[in-house]
Structure 1
């Protein structure tokens, strides 16, 4: 679950809804400057379903006593967090070996600095009592990756890692919107975005007026892209309330975002 802070109600986003917006971004990606996703269908699928393993846990809507809301992604108890790790690769592997491989890499990478793309090593924060469980889960993912790569001999390691980096871009771009209230969003930079296999760039996003966001370089096919996420506005609930029932009874609404190319100012001599 992702909790976007606001008062008097927070905007609560299920992980699968976060992933669906990531999939919208992936479906819009590619132009003369940015090569399209390859293989397109398996990559679009895994990007749109990269958090499928959260479905059961999010449905439970466990209450964080500090907030009265469901646990935010980064505050989820580790024992619960570990259970989501293999479920997303299991789901995606059923669709296609490439989707399963990228999903497995996503699980492993979240604990190991996204394969060097991030300085944050979550594995170092695992408590000693949970470390054997986490290590076993991650080793099983490495075994899965070896098995799936043997089925994907048409793809080089560089092509596979390009697919992984694309997932990281769409995931973190969606998180830029989902984790932060609109008024608090600032210019941000997304590094290691594949423009082609073996060629990466940094994409800058800048908030504009009226809820629009400018990107440079602009990675999408259409001159503007409108995406959305579904979530629920929820006030903190007192102890003893069935938070899962409250969540089920609360209708989802949409937050929409408009992405456009950055407009360059003209300097006259």
Structure 2
């Protein structure tokens, strides 16, 4: 679960389930591709992998645990390795029901998260050892997937190089989606993004301000329904991309987990939308 602060009420957040955020990531990747940015290949499998990358949270999101420090559900960054390695493991297993390539990408995304964000040097030795064992397990799974995907459909894509490039696609739209869900208030860099010709690029995501924001919204998004954002350089096929996800407006803080879950179940559903356009005067 992740949270978007309500602008009108400091005691209220929009609680967004991880699978809904992942759905938004998939929407971004399905719009991807132009002369400067190649689309992912195999397209359907990679887009599905992006949409499923947090599928391991499904059961947890149905009964979220209470964070006593915040009085709200645990955010995805609050849980320790003993919990989140199990969620990743479950996610890979669930994704495998859709296909080997999506499951491979979910496993590779777990690799990305721990490589980029987990501090092995500062972690407790027992926890660090647990994460290393999990990654060893996933590396074995990834190698097995690549060997098993030597069929006519996937033969050109079942290489370590192609899989790693597709891993970067998922990582890029994951980071974009997280920031859209949180609410973009300043320029956000998106690094190591696959570009045409085997290159990598850095994108920047930022809020459209003033009259330009009104112009972006006038194409179909209501003024109070979402955000107007720019992205530079522009990686999409069309000149405008609209994405959405859903959350619940959760007010207050809780000391009792049952009360928190009941409040979340009865909370108002909220649709979060964003319209992305090229940055005026951008590349």
Q: Same-fold call, TM > 0.5?
A: yes
1:15 counterpart residue number = 18
Check conservation: 2:22, 2:174, Cα contact below 8 A.
Answer: yes
Alignment map for 1:1-269 (pairs within 5 Å): 1-6=1-6, 7-113=10-116, 120-153=117-150, 154=155, 155=157, 156-179=159-182, 181-182=183-184, 185-196=185-196, 198-209=198-209, 210=213, 211-242=227-258, 243-264=260-281
2:222 counterpart residue number = none
In structure 2, C-alpha distance between the alignment counterparts of 1:219 and 1:250, rounded to whole Å:
36
Check conservation: 1:67, 1:236, Cα contact below 8 A.
Answer: no
2:218 counterpart residue number = none
In structure 2, C-alpha distance between the alignment counterparts of 1:248 and 1:3, rounded to whole Å:
16
Structure 2: gaps (5+ residues):
214-226
Superposition deviation, residue 76 in structure 1: 1.9
In structure 1, C-alpha distance between the alignment counterparts of 2:85 and 2:162, rounded to whole Å:
28
Which region of structure 1 is more displaced relative to structure 2, 69-78 or 219-228?
69-78
In structure 2, C-alpha distance between the alignment counterparts of 1:140 and 1:152, rounded to whole Å:
19
Q: Against the structure 1 CA distance between its residues 214 and 230, is the aligned structure 2 distance closer, same or farther, given a 3 Å change threshold?
A: same
In structure 2, C-alpha distance between the alignment counterparts of 1:77 and 1:35, rounded to whole Å:
37
CA RMSD of aligned residues (A): 1.8
Provide TM-score, normalisation by structure 1: 0.88
Superposition deviation, residue 125 in structure 1: 4.6
Superposition deviation, residue 107 in structure 1: 1.1
